[in-house]
Amino acid sequence: MSRPTEATASGAGGGHGRPWRAAGTGLVALLALVGAGLIGAALNAPEPTPPTQPGADAAPDQQNRAVTGPALGDTGRTAAPDSGTDTGPAGVLDRSEPIKIMIPRIGVDAAVMPLGLTPDGMVQAPPLARAGLAGWYRLGPTPGEAGNSVIVGHVDSREIGPAVFFRLGALLPGDGIQVIREDGSLASFVVDGVKSYPKAAFPTELVYGPSEESGLRLVTCGGDFDERTGSYPENVIAFARLAG
């Protein structure tokens, strides 16, 4: 699959400001090495609820077979994926772009737009004014194809407050994810786990690495908002595999 290269990648960074729940301007979280821009922005709101963070029981219990070694950036909050576990069925689907994603546990029923790369080699993000949309990295596999398909989404935005992946950290192993594809087919996935990683140690290979099987990676911002830097320090990543 095509993916951002280290030559065009950037370290984790962010703009200035406060999240929507604290009032202020937005931040752009650049994922280390792969650079998917995910936003936390501002909206005045009384007694807001922070984004859901994954618990220890939500950690992935497996990782892509094609990737060797432990997950990068293990913080000790959750167990690293176990490389010895079967990752799912061998059957995969033909290429067809995703148009909608549904995640019942966290109330997601959202359109999906294709995303490419910015001029500096970062993965694009959906526009802030449309933070209810998810974005599929179109230079990689489509959901259901062999390989890891990547869908990113904002955690919050100034325009709408909580955004499409605000509750991504609430997913648990066994939860279902459904993706409607352009050809009318439905690709159903089962969550293996959810984990939070420091942006400076983004697990590039676990997210974008090659695989002969069909995986899905959902990515957003996470951690406690840092008032000093004006950014979220982590990325929350959900790992899923195509259902049998």
Determine contact, residues 230/16, Cβ cutoff 8 Å: yes
Q: What is the mean pLDDT of residues 209-218?
A: 95
* Domain membership flag for residue 2: no
Alpha-carbon gap, residue 81 to 89, rounded angstroms: 18
Non-local (6+) Cβ contacts of 128 within 8 A are: 26, 39, 41, 154, 157, 158, 159
Number of Cα atoms under 13 Å in the Cβ half of residue 185: 13
Rounded-to-integer distance, Cα 150 and Cα 135, Å:
8
Establish if 199 belongs to a structural domain.
yes
> What mean pLDDT is predicted for residues 127-133?
92
Mean pLDDT of 103-132: 94
The residue with greater pLDDT, 27 or 205, is 205
Determine, yes or no, domain membership for 182: yes
- Comparing 119 with 157, the larger pLDDT belongs to 119
CATH number for the domain harbouring residue 221: 2.40.260.10
Count of beta carbons in the 10 Å neighbourhood of residue 76: 6
**Is 76 inside any structural domain?**
no
Residue 230 lies in a domain: yes
Mean pLDDT of 20-31: 32
Q: Given this model, what pLDDT does residue 6 score?
A: 35
Full residue range of the structural domain in which residue 206 is found: 18-46+95-242
Q: How many domains does the chain have?
A: 1
Asked if residue 61 belongs to a domain, the reply is no
Residue 13, number of CB atoms within 10 A of its CB: 18
Q: What is the pLDDT of residue 89?
A: 45
pLDDT digits 0-9 by tens, 35-75: 334 544 433 333 456 788 887 677 776 544 333 222 222 22
Q: Which pair of structure tokens corresponds to residue 36?
A: 């998917």
* Confidence tier at 230 by pLDDT (50, 70, 90): low
Half-sphere exposure of 195 (CA within 13 A, CB side): 29
Residue among 171, 134, 179 nearest 155 (CA): 134
Q: Is residue 226 part of a domain?
A: yes
pLDDT one-digit tens code per residue, 153-179: 999 887 788 999 999 999 999 999 999
Residue 32 belongs to a domain: yes
